[in-house]
Amino acid sequence: MKLWGGRFSYASSKSMRAFCDSIGFDRRLQLVDVRASMAYAHALQRCGCISVAERDALLGGLERIRQELKDGQFAFNEDDEDIHTAVERRLTELIGPVAGKLHTGRSRNDQVATDLRLYLMEQIPCLDEALSALQLAVVDTARQHLDVLMPGYTHLQPAQPLLFSHWLMSFFWRFQRDRERLADARKRTAVMPLGSGAIAGHPFGLERRQLARELGFDAPAQNSVDAVSDRDFVVEVLAWATLVQVHLSGLAEDLIIWSSREFGFVTLDERLTTGSSLMPQKRNPDVLELIRAKTGRLGGDLLAMLTVLKGLPSGYSKDLQEDKEALFDALDTLAAELPLATEVVRTLRVNGVRMAAALDAGMLSTDLADYLVRKGVPFRESHRIVGTAVRLAEKRGVQLSDLDLAQYQRIDDRFEQDLQEVFDFQASVDRRSALGGTARSAVEAQISQALQLLRAEGGSG
């Protein structure tokens, strides 16, 4: 069944149908399509377009379709070009010509935009929950390892000692921003196009505010031309998803490098690694590699949508049909990935001994400079002095802490007996106690703050 055949003398070609039809990927809108239609039937009756009896006939038929869909009993026809057509076709089979009243004042343009938003509004709380589950895994794992020291890296070169938990908590905040962005994107998703018709608005005085409320939207769209073609919410969710992916790729990269034999800081749970078809000894972090790689996929989805929208004339164009596969791909990817990332974090074996062994006195150079600062030396000067010590130690092939006081004093006479106190990794960490620092006290405060955020939020839905 086609919804638009009246004026046409020919059937469209089969290859064109295959190219244009969306039934292959828009079936997942089936339940929201029925839900939107039920609410619309109520609204049509309220504005006098249909009678109570007609409304009830429509509702009865739609309810039956809903059941069929839920039970997997709904039979799709070869001619159903999209989910809206399929539902209307079935409704006609079930309740006869009165089914034809449901499309009064409605176009697929406003219908599909409404469906897609409703679908997304259902997905957003799930995604938010998956993100918060990952955050909780981060917090739990961080709490369990508060006594583990590790090298902090910049440029992948040893920089300063860190608490392992401090490193891990850095991801909590990335995901927290992701959740805030998701909540923001939701605001612009929860705007209802229904009642905009094809482009010009609704000709039967539909009360759109009530309809919006009933469907769970925050408000109806304010301009019908905009409403039928606005896909900002798709772009916004894709940009959000890509940024989540960027964060996940960072976590994956850290863990891939740290689970290399050379670093050996963490061991992935065996269940989350795979072997090699050729090399019997291999244990590969495939999951993490795929997580890293999916960033390309989601960035591609984002770019695809932006390119589609570039230079598109106002009013609905078929180009917009490309919104769905990109969006679904991104949602599905994250839905599969977030629980795996959570599992990775939860089952991570942290090799504190290897981490401790990787600390070296060079990482305390800044502390050494700070030692001089405390004695009144301007930092820039102390930085230079310590640079000289570093060079000396390197030349001698020893650690900074292996130079003796005399050697230090030959470099600068403000080095004193208390110098040795600098070479204490735990003390170095604990000095960074300002808000956001790696000191245990600061990390504990971070964790408290994080738990409070996790508790406070009922999700962004």
Residues acting as catalytic residues = 155, 276
Strands 219-220, 191-192: pairing is: parallel
**How does strand 157-163 pair with strand 149-154?**
antiparallel
Residue 284 binds to a second copy (criterion: CB under 8 A): yes
Find the radius of gyration of the CA atoms of the chain: 30
Least distance (Å) between residue 116 CB and a second copy: 16
Q: Is there binding between residue 378 and a second copy (CB under 8 A)?
A: yes
Using alpha carbons, select from 93, 37, 92, 95 the residue that is nearest to residue 66: 37
**Is residue 97 at the binding interface for a second copy, with CB under 8 A as the rule?**
yes
**Residue 73 touching a second copy (CB under 8 A):** no
Residues 185-214 that bind a second copy (CB under 8 A): 187-188, 195-209
Contact flag: residue 446 with a second copy (CB under 8 A): yes
| CB closer to a second copy out of 67 and 296 | 296
In the chain, the amino acid numbered 213 is: R
Residues numbered 232-271 forming contacts with a second copy, rule: CB under 8 A: 232, 235-236, 239, 242-243, 246, 249-250, 252-254, 256-257, 260-263, 270-271
What minimum distance in Å lies between the beta carbon of 106 and a second copy? 7
Residue 222 binds to a second copy (criterion: CB under 8 A): yes
| Residue 452 in the binding site for a second copy (CB under 8 A) | no
Q: Strand, coil or helix: what is 341?
A: helix
Helix locations, 145-276, DSSP H? 164-189, 208-214, 224-229, 232-258
Which lies closer to a second copy via its Cβ, residue 38 or residue 361? 361
Number of residues that bind a second copy (CB under 8 A): 199
How far apart are CB 135 and a second copy at their closest, in Å?
A: 13
Helix axes 164-189, 440-456, angle to 10 degrees: 30
Report the distance separating Cα 160 and Cα 365, nearest Å.
8
Q: Quick one: which H or E segment has residue 75?
A: none
Does residue 290 touch a second copy according to CB under 8 A? Answer: yes
Ramachandran quadrant class, 267 (left: phi over 0; alpha: psi -120 to 50; beta: rest): beta
Query: CA dist 411 to 157, 374, 393, 404, 422, Å?
Result: 26, 17, 12, 11, 17
Q: What span, in angstroms and rounded, lies between the C-alpha atoms of 426 and 364? A: 11
Q: Which residues pair with 151 in a beta bridge?
A: 161
- Taking CB under 8 A as the criterion, which residues in 148-187 touch a second copy? 152-162, 166-167, 169-174, 177, 180-181, 184, 187
Q: Which tokens go with 7?
A: 């004026």
Binding mask 415-434 for a second copy (x = CB under 8 A): -------------xx-xxxx
Q: Does position 122 bind a second copy by CB under 8 A?
A: no
Q: Is 317 a binder of a second copy (CB under 8 A)?
A: yes
* 147 binds a second copy per the rule CB under 8 A: no
61 is an interface residue for a second copy by CB under 8 A: no
Q: Among residues 449, 451, 454, 457, which is the contact residue for a second copy, using CB under 8 A?
A: 449
Regarding 20 and contact with a second copy (CB under 8 A), the answer is: yes
